Amino acid sequence: MTTGSDQAEHDLPQDDDAYALDRRTVAAILYAVDVDDRDKLIELMEPLHAADIADLLEQINPYDRARLIRLYDKEFDGDILSELDESVREEIIAVLTPEVLAEAVREMESDDVVDLLEDLEEPQQETILGALEDSERLAAQQALAYPENSAGRLMQREVVMAPEHWTVGQAIDFMRANDDLPEQFYHVVLVDPRLKPTAQVTLGKLMASRREVPLCDLAEEEFHIIPVDQDEEDVAYAFNQYHLISAPVVDADGRLVGVITIDDAMVVLDEEHEEDILRLAGVSDESSLSDSVAATSRRRLPWLAVNLCTAICASLVISQFAAAIDQLVALAILMPIVASMGGNAGTQSLTVAVRALATRDLTNSNVMRVIRRELLVGMLNGLCFAIVLGTVGMLWFGSPWLGVVIGSALVVNMIIAGFAGTVVPVVLDRLGIDPALASGTFVTTTTDVMGFFIFLGLASVVLL
């Protein structure tokens, strides 16, 4: 007999591909599109979550994508639009019929509508706005008037609020009688007569209390208000730092204008992390697997050009020691090791520093301690590998002094790598330059140039 716990365990994901789209399902969907079987397509798509359908649309080629959307037709809903990656969303909107697009947009929450609109060209924006009711259109236009990447763009207008003097019973009766409540919400926001939020009550506390209990007696101790013009990165940080589920948004006069929920804040965090990873690799933060060859090449080309310039700088350093390399070929064989080890060590320190800056863990109060730590780590790791590499150099080329030179150069370059990997992003951050975008180039150039210079310089002095 299978117990409830056994069944729950059986239902849990068993491997890393548990939430990936099943290949047989994808193949069956594409076959239904090929044979123009709409009923079968709807049957196959019905069990899929909107996020899974969005993944499917992003993974297939543009030709199949357009055919699938046309065949799916009126079944296409707003949840799918909100889950789609920006890189394919505009393409899909162009394929949807005006009627289907209008119905899909009407189903979306106000924050999702704004997120959709801000990534579209003006003609498509007008099409979307034209599909909305007058009140919804006005709300969307007002949200678009707020600065880009601000809380005003991120918030949803649908918010459940109640006068601060209400009781639990009054709040429950109000919610039951109201047909315009958001699909999902976590708090009831208490407001004063001027519509300024004073507290909020969780739905759990509200539903667990007697009807005569005043709402103000159930208010949460932690209450955070978000200014409408606050940067969305700061909003996401506040949600993560203070473990918020939702927070009211206020205008310049302190009046309630909307609410931000945890799902929207987590999307911002996810986008920031993705952006940092791409920028650390010298790739545009607008890159996507759905991009064309030409677009991908165009975005990567400038950073490859920068890397070419830094490689030329390193080559110029090497050229200054051409005579030494001619006399001792072993230098040419071993010098890439010093630069490579320094580059890898610098990247490790850089990644930790950029991440700490993004989470605001690296501040003025602890920056010197972090720099000292990275210097000591670089020295310790450098000594460990210097022993190994020095021994290899000595046994390989039969020169103890060559082992000493490469070991010493490695230690110094690892220390420089730890220093540069921490200091460069901190300095760029102080200058208002995104450290994730520019640090990698400076750090790798520093470790390459210094690695070659130290190793070849020591070799010229000691061995020749």
- In a shared domain, residues 87 and 33: yes
**Per-residue pLDDT tens digits for 169-214:** 999 999 999 888 888 899 999 999 999 999 999 999 999 999 999 9
pLDDT of residue 11: 45
Q: What is the pLDDT of residue 210?
A: 95
Determine the pLDDT at residue 278: 63
CA distance 8 to 11: 5
Domain count, the chain: 3
In a domain, 89, yes or no: yes
Task: Indicate whether 7 belongs to any domain.
Answer: no
Domain end call among 116, 145, 174? 145
pLDDT value for 117:
83
Q: Do 123 and 171 lie in a common domain?
A: no
The answer as to whether 285 is a domain residue is no
Both 268 and 359 in one domain: the answer is no
Looking at the structure, tell me whether residues 25 and 117 fall in a common domain. Answer: yes
Classify residue 1: in a domain, yes or no. Answer: no
Per the domain annotation, does 126 fall within a domain?
A: yes
Q: Are 36 and 100 part of one and the same domain?
A: yes
Domain of 426: which CATH number?
1.10.357.20
Q: What is the pLDDT of residues 346-385, one digit of tens each?
A: 888 888 888 888 777 888 888 899 999 999 999 999 999 8
- 454 and 306 assigned to the same domain: yes
Show the domain range for 342.
Answer: 293-462
| Residue 140 placed within a domain | yes
> Is 242 inside any structural domain?
yes
Mean pLDDT in order along the chain per 10 residues (464 residues)? 43 55 88 94 92 90 92 89 82 86 82 80 79 80 87 90 94 90 90 95 94 94 93 90 93 94 86 68 55 68 72 82 79 85 88 82 87 92 89 83 88 92 90 77 86 88 79
**Residue labelled with tokens 């103890």:** 400
Check residue 285 and give its pLDDT. Answer: 52
Length of the chain: 464
What pLDDT is recorded for position 289?
Answer: 54
CATH (domain of 119): 1.25.60.10
Of 219, 246, 280, the one marking the end of a domain is 280
State the pLDDT at residue 448: 87
CB neighbour list of residue 92: distance below 8 Å, 6 or more residues apart: 57, 65, 69, 81, 84
The whole-angstrom distance between residue 214's C-alpha and the CA centroid of its chain comes to 41
Q: Are residues 240 and 305 in the same domain?
A: no
pLDDT (0 to 100) of residue 120:
76
Whole-prediction pTM value? 0.64
Kindly report the CATH number assigned to the domain that includes residue 276: 3.10.580.10
Q: Give the DSSP letter of residue 141.
A: H
Q: Do 95 and 135 fall within a single domain? A: yes
Q: Which stretches of 231-366 are DSSP H helices? A: 232-242, 262-280, 293-319, 322-327, 330-358
What is the edge-to-edge ordering of all strands in the sheet holding 246-250? 226-227, 246-250, 256-261
Provide the pLDDT for residue 371.
Answer: 92
Q: What is the pLDDT of residues 215-233, one digit of tens each?
A: 999 999 889 999 999 999 8
* Distance from C-alpha of 182 to C-alpha of 158, rounded to nearest angstrom: 6
